[in-house]
Structure 1
Amino acid sequence: MIVDSHCHLDFPDFAGETDALIARAAAADVRLMVTIGTRVRDFGKVRAIAEAHSQVYCTVGTHPHEAEKEADVAVEELVDLAAHPKVIGIGEAGLDYFYDSSPRDVQAEVFRRHIAAARMTGLPVCIHSRDADADMIAILEEETGKGAFPILLHCFSSGRELMERATALGAFVSFSGILTFKRSDELRAIARDVPMDRLLVETDAPYLAPLPWRGKRNEPAYVAHTAKVLAEVKGVAPEEMAATTTANFARLFAKVPREAVTP
């Protein structure tokens, strides 16, 4: 059993295909997936998909690209929405200095609110971090000092220092199809050093399809290939990596019923 810990089933790329996507995922032993919130104002779409499918859970949050548009979303609103039984995480939220779609100070403030919601609910905050390693480290270390909260660095493609300092805080690290790309030797070297009990895998579908599908639309079934490459990187059998990442997912996303993550 493999879990796709981060995908976007509400995106237009998948319109009308949810049942077929889930069937193809099941055929690849991907039997559970998390569809991720990127705008609180559109959360109803994400929640509806999770409600309609037993294999799908969801999160609630504001992507850093949308931070300026949702700067009015309060911690209390995130906490209230997270009470839904299918909501198992907060985010995705964080910092993106590559596109800078929202002012950096606004991104940081919105991100801190998501951390506060994660701390209040006990749900993991699913973190987007791109070209912002130094500020991400500073915020995580400062906020952890105020009180612990579960951390997931999603679609990890950052530097070694962020991985090391975040895992020292208890963070989990999720790898996407980027891990399989030919020029990702440095990322594979970082993945090799992530503790086995902190590893997750994801697609970030419809983006970042792993080889040999790079450049095409990604989907949850393809996470099995990323897990296979991660197993090669760590020097373990694919079956062990599948079991390990599923067990890690169950520990981090503790709100998911145990029977849902039992092979």
Structure 2
Amino acid sequence: MQAPPMLVDSHCHLDFPDLAADLDDVVARARAAGIARMVTISTRVRGFDAVRAIAERFDDVFCSVGTHCHHAAEEDDVTTDDLVRLAEHPKVVAIGEAGLDYHYDFSPRAVQEASFRRHIEAARITKLPLVIHAREADADTAAILEQEMGQGPFPALLHCFTGGAELARRAVALGHYVSFSGVLTFKKTDELRAIAAELPADRILVETDSPYLAPGKWRGKRNEPGFIVETVRVLAAARGISPDAAAALTTENFFRLFSRVPRDLRAAS
């Protein structure tokens, strides 16, 4: 019998208190569900030590380093050099998450933009993918990505995508990737499923963004990496392919983008 395809959670927050209390069990359930790799995402550089410690604790967990746009004002002193230096750790496989959030505006927009551009420069230098948070900021996000790409290429991923088709199109035209979370499974996200159906197959990833945004059948509960199987199922239905095919293509895309993550953990150990 052929083994089921590997699954990957490209974006979770294993350091958040919601998951920290039973983290060993959360990781064990993910493994039992076929999740072979998880990337726990940094939201504060000042909290990076805790994120890195989790990645060091589990062979199949990796991490990023960066400042979420919500916290851009409190970490306005974090430099590109700081990000590049911290990214030297072998378990760091991405920069971010960083970007623009015009829904909450927890940090001034000019400060968000400056932080976003510093993270882009760090991604350009390290060649690690930039994990982008973009909420109600489609036009400015696309414009900044296009401007910065003109200064030199960098890999990037629009995470937990909830934007419009135009942002997705412009990002993919730059060679970037788009990741879908449990939001894809919600009843009132037909437009999002339409975008997921139309994007090039080699530009799509999946994630949980756990502990938030539990998909469909777990809606309202704490999310965790093992629940990604439901997002993959809905993505497959939207694209008219099998869940195994959706798992295979999103996993292949993950390894292409997150190139520092080893395909074979035994060989890397």
TM-score (norm 2): 0.96
Partner in structure 1 of residue 66 of structure 2: 61
Partner in structure 1 of residue 253 of structure 2: 248
Partner in structure 2 of residue 162 of structure 1: 167
Aligned pair partner of 2:194 in 189, 195, 220: 189
Aligned pair partner of 1:76 in 76, 81, 85: 81
Partner in structure 1 of residue 3 of structure 2: none
1:165-200: CA deviations, max 9, x gaps? Answer: 000000111000000000000000111111100110
Tell me, in whole angstroms, the C-alpha distance in 2 between the residues paired with 1:231 and 1:192: 9
SS at match of 1:218: coil
Aligned pair partner of 1:179 in 179, 184, 204: 184
Partner in structure 2 of residue 24 of structure 1: 29
* Dislocated runs of 4+, deviation >2 Å: none
Aligned pair partner of 1:114 in 112, 119, 126: 119
Letter in 2 for 1:186: E
SS at match of 2:38: strand
Structure 1 contact 209–216 (Cα < 8 Å) conserved: yes
SS at match of 2:18: helix
SS at match of 1:120: helix
Tell me, in whole angstroms, the C-alpha distance in 2 between the residues paired with 1:54 and 1:86: 9
Q: Which runs of 5+ in 2 are unaligned?
A: 1-5
Tell me, in whole angstroms, the C-alpha distance in 2 between the residues paired with 1:111 and 1:260: 32
Letter in 2 for 1:8: H
How far 1:260 sits from its partner (Å)? 3.9
Structure 1 contact 246–261 (Cα < 8 Å) conserved: no
Partner in structure 1 of residue 12 of structure 2: 7
Tell me, in whole angstroms, the C-alpha distance in 2 between the residues paired with 1:173 and 1:194: 9
Aligned pair partner of 2:109 in 104, 112, 115: 104
1:229-257: CA deviations, max 9, x gaps? Answer: 10111111111111111110000000111
Aligned pair partner of 2:53 in 44, 48, 52: 48
Structure 1 contact 250–261 (Cα < 8 Å) conserved: no
How far 1:258 sits from its partner (Å)? 2.5
TM-score (norm 1): 0.98
1:140 paired with 2:145, answer yes
Tell me, in whole angstroms, the C-alpha distance in 1 between the residues paired with 2:65 and 2:34: 26
User: Percent same amino acid among aligned pairs?
Assistant: 62
How far 1:18 sits from its partner (Å)? 1.5
Tell me, in whole angstroms, the C-alpha distance in 2 between the residues paired with 1:160 and 1:58: 29
Tell me, in whole angstroms, the C-alpha distance in 2 between the residues paired with 1:142 and 1:79: 21
Which stretch shifts more, 252-261 or 51-60? 252-261
Tell me, in whole angstroms, the C-alpha distance in 2 between the residues paired with 1:31 and 1:253: 14
Partner in structure 2 of residue 222 of structure 1: 227
How far 1:31 sits from its partner (Å)? 1.6
